[in-house]
Structure 1
Amino acid sequence: MPGPVPNRSDDLARPRSRKGGDQQDLKRGTLKPVTVPHADKSWDPIAKRIWDGLKSSGQAEYFQNSDWAFAFSLMDDLSYYKRSGKRSGQMLQTIYTALERLLVTEADRRRLRIELHEPEPETQPASVTAIASYKAELGLDEASNQ
């Protein structure tokens, strides 16, 4: 999406859907099983760090095998660029544009209306819930003791 980076939805006075404007229909597909390749040991340390960041970032939830293949190729190109004696401003700009396509920064994600939020805190630990469930199944819950 061209133009300035949109505000986070939490920062808006009203939802985008109520603002009017051009709402485009969402096209849906089916996620396929994904295999994330291992980083190449010969990559530049910065490329390895970006690769590890991609694997552990929230947007990776949306990545498919083609995205990982593109990222792999890009890390290879970035390593080549970092190691080359003669660096080109045009090549660096091309690499940065490709990184935008992988939604590497928050601004890149917000342009596409993707926001990553903190996970919701658990109200009760899973162990407590499991124990209460077992007690209920065995008829040992507090309600049945009264």
Structure 2
Amino acid sequence: MGDDSEWMKLPIDQKCEHKIWKARLNGYEEALKLFQKIEDEKSPEWGKYLGLIKKFVTDSNAVAQLKGLEAAFAFIENAHVAGKTTGEVVSGVVGKVFNQPKARAKELGTDICLMYIEIEKAEVVQDELIKGLDNKNPKIVVQLSVKKSHFTVTN
């Protein structure tokens, strides 16, 4: 139990990178609350998380990953710098979210992709989805094929 008290004292961004999944889960929960509280989309606070958002969606623990997906969605929805993370996050969603059995994770992954499209990053999303179609894992190809109607880009 001594480990718990140590990681609980860490800042949010360090919890999100911790080796213990419970620490990461706690970090994602705190990040989600923080992302929902920050009123200024140009706050410098967003910059702390630029390099971490991909880790939120690709967490190796399924429970932590779900909370990470929620936090990532809140980040993308609210931060003016979110567009900088498009390629790496969508790639992570295609590789680690669309191929798992949890329906809620797939739904959040789809919502993340759609939010990137909404913030005018449709080309990057489309490119990453097309790369995903080349994946040798049939589950990913099926998921992308089922979801592709959601990602049709019209001019």
Higher helix share: 2
> Which TM-score tier does this pair reach, normalised by the shorter chain?
under 0.3
Given the two structures, how large is their TM-score scaled by the length of structure 2? 0.21
State which structure, 1 or 2, has the greater radius of gyration over its C-alpha atoms: 1
Given the two structures, how large is their TM-score scaled by the length of structure 1? 0.22
